[in-house]
Amino acid sequence: MKILRTLASVILSGLVLAGSCGCGRQAGVGEDQTGAGSAAGMDREKTDQPEAPETELQGQDCYINADGIVIRRGRQLTIGFSQIGAESDWRLASSASMENTFRIDNGYNLIFDNAQQKQENQIKAIREFIDQGVDYIVLDPIVETGWTSSLREAEEAGIPVIIVDREVRPEDENLYTAWLGSDFRLEGDRACAWLEALLNETSADGPVNILHIQGTMGSSAQIGRSEALFDAAKKNGWNILQSVSGDFVQAKAKEVAENALKQFDGGIQVVYCENDNMAYGVIEALEEAGITPGTRVSRGEVVIISFDSAAEGLAFTMDGKIAVDTECNPLYGPPLSRLILSLETGEQVKKKNYYEEGQFSTSEGISTVTVDGKEYPVTMVTEELIRKRAY
């Protein structure tokens, strides 16, 4: 399938995928626009360029609009989407992207289900989607395990299941069609490489004591980011004082931090938070205790490591309260619409499709980090970058 004309500029999806899932062209699922630096070192702020034209698809009753969304003119597709919940700014942005993409006027009927942080609600939603005869089921799973039965039921009903964001580990990988999301282990490795560079730069004396606030236990984001820290701590001789779940929630992370500050009484140099909202809670706890978040460990400042790179998180980064924020992009809607188009046209799609994502700081001495021999850029946060942020 060939496109009659190619995009004149980068599609405004805000995402880059390592795999290809487009309509007869490479990298069609995710060509990026938001953020301020990809893993390939590209400038991802392209808003000064002319808007991308709509792209007609030969032989298809649809087109790709300037935002990278497949607009259908023919039969409406029904998409059943089970969302984890609304526990963070990142999650809200993810839901908004799906709702904006799969609108009625774009040629879709989106059945949205908020699972309220419960796996049993997601399993129930999958079964309801099957009963409703949807065309596709999209699942953002709260944890990786426990999905085999419901996925098998979808397979028996002939309904493709696409996993987004977090991953699943069913007994048979063929029970789902494709996965679209972030490399959480790489995110963690990049964050730890940045911390290592900072500590080397500041010549921190003695062992580095880290408070580790984890996300929802058993989720892909928690597993990847936690494993990265555990391995980096072992390699560098860092001391993890404790690892406690904050469930990706600001209030819970604040409570964890408050308890740790009392327990370790000035002995915390680094707080490794597995998402932005938990970092916000930690900042509150530190400041209420009279402790300054920053990068000058020798002066008693506490280094906060975070993930997501939402606009508010980047604002805290520019203020120096978050030392480094590693991106996890929630804007799944546009690339997912293109992946679905590829499935509709009978194209082969990759099983796993990864985003390329950025990393942000205001520490001028660290412009790159290296993971497994590959160099990744660290982008300086500016007011303009925050203003143009899509989430």
For residue 114, give the CATH number of its domain.
3.40.50.2300
Contacts of 333 (CB under 8 A, 6+ apart): 69, 97, 98, 99, 100, 101, 102
pLDDT at 15: 37
Do residues 65 and 173 both lie within one domain?
yes
Distance, CA of 164 to CA of 145 (rounded, Å): 15
Q: Are residues 117 and 138 in the same domain?
A: yes
Q: Is residue 224 part of a domain?
A: yes
In a domain, 10, yes or no: no
Give 172-203 pLDDT, tens digit per residue. 999 999 999 999 999 999 999 999 999 988 86
Model pLDDT, residue 87: 87
- Could you give the CA distance from residue 143 to residue 339 in angstroms, rounded to a whole number? 23
Q: Which two tokens stand for residue 17?
A: 């995928």
Position 317 pLDDT exceeds 50? yes
Residues 167 and 194 in one domain: no
Give the range of the structural domain holding residue 281, as residue numbers without chain letter: 184-328+360-388
d(CA 112, CA 80): 6
Residue whose entry in the numeric block shows the structure tokens 């994502």: 357
Residue 9 belongs to some domain of the structure: no
Lowest mean pLDDT among 53-62, 128-137, 145-154, 310-319: 53-62
Q: Is residue 215 part of a domain?
A: yes
Domain co-membership, 149 together with 219: no
**Out of 23-27, 76-80, 100-104, 363-367, least confident range:** 23-27
pTM for the full predicted model: 0.81
146 and 218 share a domain? no
Number of domains in the chain: 2
State pLDDT tens for residues 240-276.
999 999 999 999 999 999 999 999 998 999 999 999 9
